[in-house]
Amino acid sequence: MALLDELKADQLAARKASDRLKADLLTTLIGEATQITTEEFKRGVTEVTDEKVVATVAKFLKNTKLTLENLAAERARLVEANGDLSKVDERTKAAETEQAILSSYGPKQMTEAQLREAINDFRTQNPDANVGAIMAHLKSNFGGQYDGKAASALARA
Protein backbone atom coordinates (compact mmCIF):
# COMPACT_ATOMS: atom_id res chain seq x y z
CA MET A 1 0.00 0.00 0.00
CA ALA A 2 1.30 3.43 -0.90
CA LEU A 3 2.09 5.67 2.04
CA LEU A 4 -0.52 8.23 0.98
CA ASP A 5 -3.19 5.51 0.93
CA GLU A 6 -2.07 4.39 4.39
CA LEU A 7 -2.38 7.97 5.67
CA LYS A 8 -5.87 8.28 4.23
CA ALA A 9 -6.98 4.96 5.76
CA ASP A 10 -5.54 5.94 9.13
CA GLN A 11 -7.18 9.37 8.92
CA LEU A 12 -10.56 7.75 8.30
CA ALA A 13 -10.02 5.32 11.19
CA ALA A 14 -9.05 8.22 13.48
CA ARG A 15 -12.19 10.12 12.50
CA LYS A 16 -14.35 7.06 13.19
CA ALA A 17 -12.63 6.63 16.57
CA SER A 18 -13.16 10.34 17.34
CA ASP A 19 -9.39 10.82 17.72
CA ARG A 20 -9.52 14.48 16.78
CA LEU A 21 -5.80 15.20 17.23
CA LYS A 22 -4.69 12.36 14.96
CA ALA A 23 -7.44 12.98 12.41
CA ASP A 24 -6.65 16.70 12.17
CA LEU A 25 -2.91 16.09 11.98
CA LEU A 26 -3.30 13.52 9.21
CA THR A 27 -5.72 15.77 7.31
CA THR A 28 -3.16 18.58 7.35
CA LEU A 29 -0.35 16.19 6.42
CA ILE A 30 -2.30 14.75 3.50
CA GLY A 31 -3.22 18.22 2.28
CA GLU A 32 0.39 19.38 2.35
CA ALA A 33 1.76 16.18 0.78
CA THR A 34 -0.73 16.17 -2.09
CA GLN A 35 -0.10 19.72 -3.22
CA ILE A 36 1.56 19.75 -6.60
CA THR A 37 3.27 23.06 -7.22
CA THR A 38 3.18 24.87 -10.55
CA GLU A 39 6.86 24.06 -11.06
CA GLU A 40 6.24 20.36 -10.47
CA PHE A 41 3.27 20.40 -12.84
CA LYS A 42 5.41 22.04 -15.54
CA ARG A 43 7.93 19.20 -15.12
CA GLY A 44 5.11 16.69 -15.65
CA VAL A 45 4.61 15.66 -12.02
CA THR A 46 0.98 14.69 -11.55
CA GLU A 47 1.22 12.01 -8.84
CA VAL A 48 2.26 12.09 -5.23
CA THR A 49 5.12 9.69 -4.57
CA ASP A 50 6.02 8.03 -1.29
CA GLU A 51 9.23 10.07 -1.39
CA LYS A 52 7.26 13.32 -1.35
CA VAL A 53 5.03 12.08 1.47
CA VAL A 54 8.11 11.05 3.51
CA ALA A 55 9.65 14.49 2.88
CA THR A 56 6.44 16.12 4.12
CA VAL A 57 6.42 13.92 7.22
CA ALA A 58 10.05 14.89 7.87
CA LYS A 59 9.14 18.57 7.55
CA PHE A 60 6.28 18.15 10.03
CA LEU A 61 8.54 16.25 12.43
CA LYS A 62 11.14 19.02 12.29
CA ASN A 63 8.49 21.64 13.05
CA THR A 64 7.11 19.55 15.93
CA LYS A 65 10.62 19.18 17.36
CA LEU A 66 11.06 22.97 17.23
CA THR A 67 7.68 23.41 18.91
CA LEU A 68 8.74 21.08 21.72
CA GLU A 69 11.99 22.99 22.19
CA ASN A 70 10.10 26.29 22.37
CA LEU A 71 7.58 24.84 24.82
CA ALA A 72 10.41 23.58 27.04
CA ALA A 73 11.92 27.08 27.09
CA GLU A 74 8.51 28.60 27.85
CA ARG A 75 7.95 26.08 30.64
CA ALA A 76 11.34 26.93 32.18
CA ARG A 77 10.45 30.63 32.02
CA LEU A 78 7.09 30.01 33.71
CA VAL A 79 8.66 27.86 36.42
CA GLU A 80 11.09 30.66 37.19
CA ALA A 81 8.23 33.18 37.32
CA ASN A 82 5.94 30.85 39.29
CA GLY A 83 3.45 30.98 36.41
CA ASP A 84 0.64 28.62 35.43
CA LEU A 85 2.12 25.59 33.64
CA SER A 86 -1.15 23.88 32.73
CA LYS A 87 -1.48 25.25 29.18
CA VAL A 88 2.18 24.67 28.35
CA ASP A 89 2.03 21.13 29.72
CA GLU A 90 -1.16 20.45 27.75
CA ARG A 91 0.40 21.71 24.53
CA THR A 92 3.60 19.77 25.22
CA LYS A 93 1.61 16.56 25.63
CA ALA A 94 -0.21 17.26 22.35
CA ALA A 95 3.07 17.97 20.53
CA GLU A 96 4.61 14.76 21.90
CA THR A 97 1.56 12.83 20.67
CA GLU A 98 1.91 14.47 17.24
CA GLN A 99 5.59 13.54 17.18
CA ALA A 100 4.76 9.90 17.96
CA ILE A 101 2.10 9.80 15.24
CA LEU A 102 4.38 11.36 12.63
CA SER A 103 7.32 9.13 13.57
CA SER A 104 5.27 6.08 12.68
CA TYR A 105 5.07 7.25 9.05
CA GLY A 106 8.62 8.41 8.47
CA PRO A 107 11.73 6.35 7.87
CA LYS A 108 13.56 5.06 10.93
CA GLN A 109 15.95 7.76 12.11
CA MET A 110 19.65 7.04 12.49
CA THR A 111 21.14 7.35 15.94
CA GLU A 112 24.09 9.69 16.43
CA ALA A 113 26.40 6.64 16.61
CA GLN A 114 25.06 5.30 13.30
CA LEU A 115 25.43 8.73 11.70
CA ARG A 116 28.99 9.06 13.00
CA GLU A 117 29.79 5.57 11.66
CA ALA A 118 28.40 6.40 8.20
CA ILE A 119 30.47 9.60 8.08
CA ASN A 120 33.63 7.84 9.27
CA ASP A 121 33.15 5.04 6.73
CA PHE A 122 32.84 7.62 3.95
CA ARG A 123 35.92 9.49 5.21
CA THR A 124 37.89 6.23 5.24
CA GLN A 125 36.98 5.58 1.60
CA ASN A 126 37.41 9.25 0.61
CA PRO A 127 40.14 10.84 2.76
CA ASP A 128 40.03 14.11 0.81
CA ALA A 129 36.25 14.55 1.21
CA ASN A 130 35.03 17.95 2.36
CA VAL A 131 31.85 18.65 4.32
CA GLY A 132 29.84 19.18 1.12
CA ALA A 133 30.87 15.77 -0.26
CA ILE A 134 30.01 14.09 3.04
CA MET A 135 26.59 15.74 3.18
CA ALA A 136 25.90 14.81 -0.46
CA HIS A 137 26.81 11.19 0.32
CA LEU A 138 24.49 11.16 3.34
CA LYS A 139 21.63 12.68 1.37
CA SER A 140 21.92 10.22 -1.50
CA ASN A 141 22.30 7.14 0.71
CA PHE A 142 20.37 8.00 3.87
CA GLY A 143 17.96 10.76 2.80
CA GLY A 144 15.33 11.53 5.42
CA GLN A 145 16.91 9.24 7.99
CA TYR A 146 19.06 11.73 9.88
CA ASP A 147 19.02 15.18 11.43
CA GLY A 148 20.79 17.52 9.01
CA LYS A 149 22.05 19.83 11.74
CA ALA A 150 23.61 16.94 13.67
CA ALA A 151 25.10 15.48 10.48
CA SER A 152 26.64 18.80 9.54
CA ALA A 153 28.19 19.17 12.99
CA LEU A 154 29.63 15.64 12.83
CA ALA A 155 30.93 16.17 9.29
CA ARG A 156 32.76 19.33 10.40
CA ALA A 157 34.32 17.62 13.42
pLDDT of 28 over the 90 cut? yes
Predicted local confidence at residue 142, as pLDDT? 82
Mean of pLDDT over the chain: 88
pLDDT of 27 over the 90 cut? yes
Predicted local confidence at residue 106, as pLDDT? 77
pLDDT of 132 over the 60 cut? yes
Predicted local confidence at residue 94, as pLDDT? 95
Range with lowest mean pLDDT among 41-45, 77-81, 119-123, 137-141: 41-45
Inter-CA distances, 133 with 123, 137, 146, 153, Å: 10, 6, 16, 14
- Quick one: which of 144, 151, 156, 153 has its CA closest to 62? 144
Q: What is the pTM of this model?
A: 0.70
Mean pLDDT of the region 90-109: 90
Rg (CA), the chain: 19
Predicted local confidence at residue 1, as pLDDT? 57
Q: At 44, phi and psi to the nearest 5?
A: 95, 10
